[in-house]
Amino acid sequence: MQTEEIERLIKISRERPLLPESYIPWQQEPRAEDIFLPEILTSLHGLDIYDTLTPTQKIELGRHELVQVIASYAWGECLFCLFMTRYILTLPLADVRHRFLLRELIEEFRHQEMFGQAINKLGGEPIPQSRLHKFFGEFSNKYLPADYLFMGSISVELVTDVYGNYARKSPGVYPVIRKMFDLHNIEEARHILFTRALLKEYAAKAGYIKRTLYSYVILFNILFVRTMYVKKKIFERTGIQNPDRVYKMASKNFKQKFAETCLGDIIEFVDSWRGFNRATRWAWRRILKAKV
């Protein structure tokens, strides 16, 4: 990415900051008819069992699953900030990338605070990450080289962007949540632009093996995200019968739905630097059900 282009992104971030304090109508309480997560993104939508739920159960399912999504974002961004604070130390202060990443950090910290506040507003009780998630999250954050971590971050950004876009476009969504996603999408669009360009440079220099490794890092990051949202406890909380059985059905349904709705942009990105090859394509198909 050209220096002038990054300077332009820095300028927008400085001159047109979106502050969650004033941008989001925190004072508005949810109305009885407000939904929290667009139905299509809930884990049970599309299954017969979904039609047997009462309207309140449907809303509650969306509320709990959305809380899970937001809490996972906040945790992922917190980990990414840890990495970025280490990474910018390797770049001189005057370097345009250093200055851009400082803006990104400022925005990411604001996002985390906003996510916490939104969870509070929803009366949410996020279910903590599993031990495996914690281990992989912290381990990779500490030990993977920068290019791999940026690959991971863009995969999460591109996938979660889909959630934001659905929420922004669904008219019945609780305004606090709609504006939260609005703000997040606008600022993340700049991060994605920067990271995408940075990674194009890395990928252009990468040979077959490195591109294969990049592709796997992205794949595992997506798998990581996908397995954080659907939780058995949520079905218990919503008073759904047979939570064990429903959990299994929901996980399977969500896997399919996720493949159909969330992977378009990331597939296009990986394809742009020939990240699908004989060693990776089968895994994308089998593990993520991606059409590649």
Q: Spell out, one character per residue from 64 to 83, where the chain touches Fe ion: x when CB under 5 A holds, - when not.
A: -------------x------
**Residue closer to Fe ion (CB basis): 150 or 247:** 150
170: left (phi over 0), alpha (psi -120 to 50) or beta: beta
- Shortest reach from residue 130's CB to Fe ion, in Å: 23
* Burial zone of 209 (CB within 10 Å; 0-12 exposed, 13-18 middle, 19+ buried): exposed
Question: Is the Cβ–Cβ distance between 276 and 247 less than 8 Å?
Answer: no
Q: Spell out, one character per residue from 117 to 156, where the chain touches Fe ion: x when CB under 5 A holds, - when not.
A: ----------------------------------------
Q: How far apart are CA 141 and CA 260, in angstroms?
A: 29
Angle at 191 between CA 113 and CA 19, to 5 degrees: 35
- Shortest reach from residue 116's CB to Fe ion, in Å: 13
- Shortest reach from residue 208's CB to Fe ion, in Å: 30
**Residue closer to Fe ion (CB basis): 65 or 77:** 77
Count the Cβ atoms, other than its own, within 10 Å of residue 86. Answer: 13
- Residues from 225 through 254 that contact Fe ion (CB under 5 A): none
- Shortest reach from residue 77's CB to Fe ion, in Å: 5
- Shortest reach from residue 139's CB to Fe ion, in Å: 21
- Shortest reach from residue 75's CB to Fe ion, in Å: 12
User: Binding of Fe ion at residue 191 (CB under 5 A)?
Assistant: yes
**Residue closer to Fe ion (CB basis): 61 or 158:** 158
Question: Is the Cβ–Cβ distance between 24 and 176 less than 8 Å?
Answer: yes
**Residue closer to Fe ion (CB basis): 5 or 236:** 5
Question: Is the Cβ–Cβ distance between 162 and 268 less than 8 Å?
Answer: no
Nearest to 194 by CA among 152, 225, 150: 150
User: Binding of Fe ion at residue 211 (CB under 5 A)?
Assistant: no
Q: Which residues contact 197 (CB under 8 A, 6 or more apart)?
A: 1, 5
**Residue closer to Fe ion (CB basis): 65 or 188:** 188
String of DSSP letters for 206-227: --HHHHHHHHHHHHHHHHHHHT
Which position among 58, 110, 111, 257 is part of the footprint of Fe ion (CB under 5 A)? 111
Q: How far apart are CA 218 and CA 267, in angstroms?
A: 10
**Residue closer to Fe ion (CB basis): 144 or 193:** 193
**Residue closer to Fe ion (CB basis): 64 or 111:** 111
**Residue closer to Fe ion (CB basis): 191 or 255:** 191
User: Binding of Fe ion at residue 103 (CB under 5 A)?
Assistant: no
Phi, psi dihedral angles at 18 (to 5 degrees): -105, 105
- Shortest reach from residue 188's CB to Fe ion, in Å: 5
Q: How far apart are CA 107 and CA 113, in angstroms?
A: 10
Number of residues that bind Fe ion (CB under 5 A): 5
Residue ranges in contact with Fe ion by CB under 5 A: 77, 108, 111, 188, 191
